[in-house]
Amino acid sequence: MALSPSTKKEIKLQAISLINKYSLVIPIDVYALAEKLNIYIQERNDVIGEGFTIPIFALAKFAKISIIIIEKDVIKTRKRFTIAHEIYHSLEHKNISFFSSDKAKAEREANIFATELLMPANQIKNSVYSPEAKNISELAYIFNVSKQAMQIRIKELNLDDNI
């Protein structure tokens, strides 16, 4: 099932409000944000997949601390996206089981959050419309994301004619 526009909007607002609350600047420091949210990041070589989140304490729902475990040997931009994605899981999906049917929905939600956090629509528009012309590579560098992620984001925001 697709996410409703209002759910998407809410998730995006959540990313923006964290950016504002912690005065984060571009490129967003996902490590600093995690720290402020009591989320610890552990990088390991034995991770199956790209990463996952473990809430601490038996009653996961009430956990105040989470650990994000991510694969160490992936490129930095991919790691940043995974951390942003896992941050959303640790904020909102503490009690969703890995095998639950809500899992796919939770994955889409976490991706929307990560995209908005790392490439906020307004900042992207400001960069694209700034006096100096920018191409995808420069934008990717500024936001510290992969070129591919930036390409998708530019398309999604209907800005491809301006690049």
Stretch 108-137 residues interacting with Zn ion (CB under 5 A): 110
**What is the smallest separation between the CB atom of 137 and Zn ion, expressed in angstroms?**
28
Query: Considering only 10-18, 103-111, 130-138, 153-161, which stretch makes contact with Zn ion by CB under 5 A?
Result: 103-111
Q: Which is nearer to Zn ion, 51 or 120 (CB)?
A: 51
Q: Which is nearer to Zn ion, 80 or 154 (CB)?
A: 80
**Size of the chain, expressed as the number of residues it contains:** 163
Query: Considering only 12-20, 75-83, 106-114, 152-160, which stretch makes contact with Zn ion by CB under 5 A?
Result: 106-114
Specify the long-range contacts of residues 36-41, CB closer than 8 Å, at least 24 apart: 37/87, 37/90, 37/91, 38/64, 38/65, 38/66, 39/65, 39/66, 39/67, 39/68, 39/86, 39/87, 39/90, 40/65, 40/66, 40/67, 40/68, 41/67, 41/68, 41/70, 41/83
**What is the smallest separation between the CB atom of 42 and Zn ion, expressed in angstroms?**
16
**What is the smallest separation between the CB atom of 87 and Zn ion, expressed in angstroms?**
10
Where along the sequence are the contacts to Zn ion (CB under 5 A)? Answer: 107, 110
